[in-house]
A and B are shown apart, each in its own frame.
Chain A
Amino acid sequence: GAGVSQSPRYKVAKRGQDVALRCDPISGHVSLFWYQQALGQGPEFLTYFQNEAQLDKSGLPSDRFFAERPEGSVSTLKIQRTQQEDSAVYLCASSLATSGQETQYFGPGTRLLVL
Chain B
Amino acid sequence: DAKTTQPPSMDCAEGRAANLPCNHSTISGNEYVYWYRQIHSQGPQYIIHGLKNNETNEMASLIITEDRKSSTLILPHATLRDTAVYYCIVRVDTGNQFYFGTGTSLTVIP
Contact = CB atoms under 8 A, between A and B. Distances in A.
A108 interface: yes
Most buried by A among B45, B85, B100, B101: B100
Report whether over half of chain B's contact residues are helix, strand or loop; otherwise say mixed.
Answer: loop
Nearest to B31: A100
Using C-beta atoms within 8 Å of the partner chain, give the interface range for chain B: 20 to 34
B86 to A, nearest CB: 11
A33 B100 contact: no
Contacts, number: 57
Report whether over half of chain A's contact residues are helix, strand or loop; otherwise say mixed.
Answer: loop
Using C-beta atoms within 8 Å of the partner chain, give the interface range for chain A: 20 to 34
A42 B43 contact: no
A107 interface: yes
B79 to A, nearest CB: 21
Given A93-B44, A108-B41, 8 more contacts: A33-B97, A42-B87, A42-B103, A45-B97, A56-B97, A100-B91, A100-B94, A101-B32
Interface of B: 32, 41-46, 49, 85, 87, 91-103
Interface of A: 4, 31, 33, 35, 40-45, 48, 55-56, 59, 91, 93, 98-101, 103-109
